[in-house]
Amino acid sequence: MTPRVAQMGLGAFSLLFFAFIYAPLLIIIVYSFNSNPVNMMLWDHFTLEWYTGLFGLSERGPEIGDQNRSLYLESTDQMLHALRTSLTVAAFTTTIATVVGTATAIALNRFRFRARRFYNGFMLLPMMMPDIVLGIGLLIFFVTIGLNLSIVTIIIGHCTFLISYVFIVVQARIAGIDPALEEASADLGASEWVTLRKVLLPQLAPGILGGALLAFVISMDDLVITYFIAGTESTTLPVFIFGMIRRGVKPEINAIATLMILASVIIAGFGLWLRARKTD
């Protein structure tokens, strides 16, 4: 095989790969502007009513009667409540997972003890475990200890596996840091706390930020585990969307999904921008 043929084959494979990943997202975005309220795959004409209706800015959706409109506005209030719940869970979970995951990565890298390898593998277990198994296990655990399902159980459940994601990201970052920097700080008379705050943490900042953003996005998008451990008054946005899909794919679902895609892109771009500033 000549290099030119190999390059063309690799290019074609890359094109098909990205098309396979992003084509469904593109379809969701395009049809979120379709005014057809019955069959989203039949294009009628361009509209923004599904977006304005989500935030109560539209008095009437495209070609839907007053009865359906009242139900639609009621679901909008429920959607905003689910969004607030998701943001609250993601904020608390990201904070806890970032602190615990970063501290664990530093401890396993700097200290040597007999169970170090076992502990390191144990931290990876929640990432490898199927979500449905983890969700059922958490549900049984909460019921056994008598803890009512609520937003607290969702936060605890998300922390059980998001700590592992932060741990992996920070551990990869700390592996590339020269330990001589900390030794030099200690030789100059700095205490361990000063060394941690002024030498180690600034070096780890890109990894900590990346782990925090990853934890936030995963927490906002999680469905399977949350479905098992969420109470009736603590519905998150993915669980709410799943409930809507079970009653049929409505046009507003495409609008919600498009807004979630946009939010993920903004968060990722913000993380890359901060990381570039830290590097400069």
In a domain, 253, yes or no: no
Q: What is the CATH number of the domain that holds 213?
A: 1.10.3720.10
In a domain, 19, yes or no: no
Determine the pLDDT at residue 280.
Answer: 52
Residue 98, pLDDT > 90, answer yes
Q: How far is CA 47 from the centre of its chain?
A: 29
What distance in Å separates the CA atoms of residue 20 and residue 17, rounded to the nearest whole number?
A: 5
Domain that holds residue 128: 73-248
pLDDT level of residue 83 (50, 70, 90 thresholds): confident
Note the pLDDT tens digit of each residue in 167-181.
Answer: 998 988 888 777 777
In a domain, 139, yes or no: yes
In a domain, 58, yes or no: no
What would the mean pLDDT of 99-126 be, rounded to a whole number? Answer: 84
Domain count, the chain: 1
pLDDT level of residue 97 (50, 70, 90 thresholds): very high
What distance in Å separates the CA atoms of residue 31 and residue 248, rounded to the nearest whole number?
A: 15
Residue ranges in 111-150 assigned as alpha helix (H): 116-128, 131-144
Residue 12, pLDDT > 50, answer yes
In a domain, 20, yes or no: no
**Are the CB atoms for 109 and 175 separated by under 8 Å?**
yes
In a domain, 179, yes or no: yes
In a domain, 56, yes or no: no
Residue in the structure block whose two tokens are 């190999």: 6
Note the pLDDT tens digit of each residue in 189-201.
Answer: 777 777 777 778 8
Task: Extract the runs of DSSP E, i.e. beta strands, from 44-127.
Answer: none
In a domain, 48, yes or no: no
Determine the pLDDT at residue 275.
Answer: 64
- The interaxial angle of helices 201-221 and 237-246, nearest 10 deg, is 20
Burial 205-227 (b: 16+ CB within 10 A, else e): ebbbbbbbbbbbbbbbebebbbb
Determine the pLDDT at residue 66.
Answer: 45
Looking at mean pLDDT, say which of 8-12, 71-75, 93-97, 166-170 comes out highest. 93-97
Looking at mean pLDDT, say which of 156-160, 168-172, 245-249 comes out highest. 156-160
